[in-house]
Structure 1
Amino acid sequence: MKRFIPLGLIMLLSVFILGFNKQEIPSLYVKHHTKGNQVMVECIVTGISFRESDHKKQKVGKMVVWVDGKKNLEIASAAFIIKNLSPGSHTFKLEVVKLNNDPYGLDKEFMVNIPK
């Protein structure tokens, strides 16, 4: 019986610590669709908020969009459209960064082909 008390206490503390320490590991999932000369991008970002008012609740950031190696825009939204792309192949890079532009280490690259 004495052996079960420490084991039970350890299990109870583990559940308590894991239950109240729910910091998500940040991750980035990207889905894109090309329509004419536009690319519609949808992102699922876990563990990071794009709302500046969430400073106390979780990590806050923004997304930097690179097209063909050039910084195209900064966005604070998980879904957006890149318009007026020229015909041909384009490389996109999405990077989630802190508000001061320090990287979180989350980025995705993909290629699209805009028809003539």
Structure 2
Amino acid sequence: MQKQFIILVLFLFAVFGACDKPAPKATAASVASATPHQENKYFYVKHDVKGNNVLMECIAPSFPFQNGKDGGHVNVYVNGKKVDEVYTAAFMLRGLPTGKHVVRLELVYNDGKITGLSHEFTVMIP
């Protein structure tokens, strides 16, 4: 059942991501100055808690979520500790213990250049 949910969510991300609609306006907190890698960048994260898992969708249209020389990834931190590097825009953080957790996501290019874009949010695991 959980596998079907993940497949459905990823399918919906793909369908809605393919729609040609204007990008939402970025807030001052989510905008950083342009680097040689990209222009007009912003970073927004949708998240949903399901049991002790957190499903996340990173929205950064100009960012190359992919492995390899010209790509980039998401550094995932939980309570200040780096727990993963993810090369896709949608992913799940699994098995969080009960309690309150601060999740921070940072966009980083694979060549080591920092984008300056990050998003932090708090989740409560029942």
TM-score by length of 1: 0.70
Q: Provide, for residues 44-84 of structure 1, a one-character-per-residue CA deviation record: whole Å limited to 9, x for no partner.
A: 112111234683xxxx3111000000001000000000111
Q: 1:80 aligns with which of 87, 91, 95?
A: 91
Q: 2:121 aligns with which of 103, 110, 114?
A: 110
Aligned length: 89
**1:1-116 map, 5 Å:** 24-52=39-67, 55=70, 60-115=71-126
- In the alignment, residue 45 of structure 2 is paired with which amino acid? V
Identity among equivalent pairs (%): 42
Structure 2 CA distance, aligned partners of 1:75 and 1:101? 14
Note if contact 2:96-2:125 (Cα within 8 Å) is conserved in structure 1.
yes
**Structure 1 runs (4+) greater than 6 angstroms displaced:** none
Q: CA RMSD in A?
A: 1.7
- Name the CA shift for 1:90/1:38 in 2 (closer, same or farther; >3 Å): same
- Name the CA shift for 1:72/1:52 in 2 (closer, same or farther; >3 Å): closer
| Secondary structure of the structure 2 residue equivalent to 1:48 | coil
- The alpha-carbon deviation at position 88 of structure 1 amounts to 0.3
Q: Which runs of 5+ in 2 are unaligned?
A: 1-37
- Per the alignment, residue 16 of structure 1 pairs with none
- In the alignment, residue 68 of structure 1 is paired with which amino acid? N
Pick the structure with greater CA Rg.
1
